[in-house]
Amino acid sequence: MGSEARGAAAAAGDLVELEVGPVAHGGHCVARLRGPGDDGPGRVVFVRHALPGERVVARLTDAGPKATFWRADAVEVLDASPDRVASPWPEAGPGGVGGGELAHVRPDAQRAWKAAVLAEQLQRLARVEREVPVRALPGDEERGGLGWRTRVGFLADREGRAGMRRFRSHDVVPVTAMPLMSDALAGLDLLGRRWTPGARIEAVAPAGGDAPVVLVDDQPFDLRRGKVDPRPNARSAVREQVRVGEWEWAYRVAAAGFWQVHREAPATLTGAVLDALGDVDGARVLDLYSGAGLFTLPLADAVGDAGSVVAVEGDARAVRDARRNLHDRPQVELHGGDVAGALAAGAAGAGVDAVVLDPPRVGAGRDVVRAVAGLAPRRVVYVACDPAALARDVAYLAEEGYALSDVTGYDLFPMTHHVEAVAVLER
């Protein structure tokens, strides 16, 4: 087995044989490595590219006698799980780029994996026992979990080839395929071109059919001419459309700004948030971390002329987009700035009927949760992109008198460990 090692003597680069245990947050499974004569529980190893119940040969990527836990990549499967499939993206396999760490897992088993992580984090951090369904988005079953990204980014290596960073590394690895990007993006042939070494390439192809935009180092790029477009009116934004039932909303979003990357994510999440809120006609709703107004615009229509929406966003570019998207909704108050600071300054007024929280990956945190609870909303709808952050904030909300009444996961990021969840908490 080459440089096989066991126990405390093992080092990064060594090969070890592991019995793979349960899934863990972050795209890993948990295994334990015991040395000769070791009767204890063994060293914890977080192993990628494996599945629970498998027996694998793994290459240690982080190891050492002082480390609390080690990391490894499964490089040979001795006993395979029935949930294992051939990866559609081998370049994201062991030793490869990040962004496709579950490509070896059958799509329905990927959702079961994510459901297990959500349930485990809620139990461990919030002391809530709850099974959490994780739903596929429309079209993903038919596509096998591929072709969903409407936004991609690459880095040019020293030879000008488009690539991505190796997992947990700054090394740029050239890639010949990126099967998660949409057909419209694949048609741009970004991977077949040569770029300026070190350039950062970003491309956006909105699901609604708007023409794609390519940026190189944040500057609009003319693919036909092969150079940056110097015109002051060169396109640097795209039009996005979101349809939920009979409703449809239009947005203008900076190509370099934040927008959900899955083609169906904006509509799916908007529908889930509106359903979770229920009837808010005439209500006062607080929309925190409101971005370019994805939820704010539908909320404005939901509360009607007799209601109001207070939106708070800290990113200046997103605030500029939101002002354009919301200019004809007089019932919206838009505040730019830090969410905690805006709440402390009284941006929400004396109270609200409901709150929508869509924080970044780190979560809202105790200060924001306390400020939200101080407004005494009857319901909080929390849109989470990280299971651990969601569970911590659910625990904080419980301290303030709010109980988790519902939570559903959405597989917005097939082939990766990432999962979105929409939770409903009531006072």
CA distance 408 to 294: 19
User: Given the structure tokens 């935009």, which residue do they identify?
Assistant: 213
Answer whether 225's CB lies under 8 Å from 209's CB.
Answer: no
By CB neighbour count within 10 A (0-12 exposed, 13-18 middle, 19+ buried), where does 348 fall?
buried
pLDDT value at position 1? 41
- 278: its two tokens: 């229920």
Q: What token pair was written down for 210?
A: 């708007």
Residue where the block lists tokens 């972050």:
26
What pLDDT score does 18 carry? 96
CB 102 within 8 A of CB 110: yes
Distance (Å, whole) CA 314 – CA 205: 25
Strand order in the sheet with 227-228: 172-174, 162-165, 151-156, 200-204, 213-216, 219-222, 227-228
The CATH H-level (homologous superfamily) assignment of domain 7-84 is Nucleic acid-binding proteins (2.40.50.140)
Task: Give per-residue pLDDT as tens, 366-383.
Answer: 999 999 999 999 999 999
Q: Where are the domains of the chain?
A: 7-84, 114-139+241-250+260-426, 149-233
Q: Is 226 exposed, middle or buried (0-12, 13-18, 19+ CB in 10 A)?
A: exposed
Whether the predicted pLDDT of 407 surpasses 90: yes
* pLDDT score of 404 more than 70: yes
Residues designated as active site: 385
What confidence category does residue 42 fall into, taking pLDDT thresholds of 50, 70 and 90?
confident
pLDDT > 70: what percent of the chain? 96
Res. 13 pLDDT band, cuts 50 70 90: confident
3-state secondary structure 103-160: CCECHHHHHHHHHHHHHHHHHHHHCCCCCCCEECCCCHHHHCCCCCECEEEEEECCCC
pLDDT at residue number 40: 65
Asked if 257 and 324 count as a contact pair (C-beta separation under 8 A), the reply is: no
Displacement of CA 24 from its chain's centroid (Å)? 16
The DSSP letter of residue 190 is G
Among the CATH numbers 3.40.50.300, 3.40.50.2300, 3.40.50.150, 3.40.50.2020, which is that of 114-139+241-250+260-426?
A: 3.40.50.150
Going by pLDDT thresholds of 50, 70 and 90, the confidence category of residue 23 is very high
Using DSSP's 3-state secondary structure scheme, residue 374 falls into helix
DSSP secondary structure letter of residue 91: G
Domains 7-84 and 114-139+241-250+260-426 alike in fold = no
Q: In the predicted model, is pLDDT for residue 209 greater than 80?
A: no
Structure tokens at 354: 């409901």
CA-derived radius of gyration, the chain = 23
- Res 12: pLDDT: 78
C-alpha span between 408 and 93 (Å, rounded): 29
Q: What's the rounded mean pLDDT across residues 133-162?
A: 97
Give the whole-angstrom CA distance, residue 105 versus residue 50: 9
pLDDT digits (tens, 9 = 90+) for 111-121: 999 999 999 99
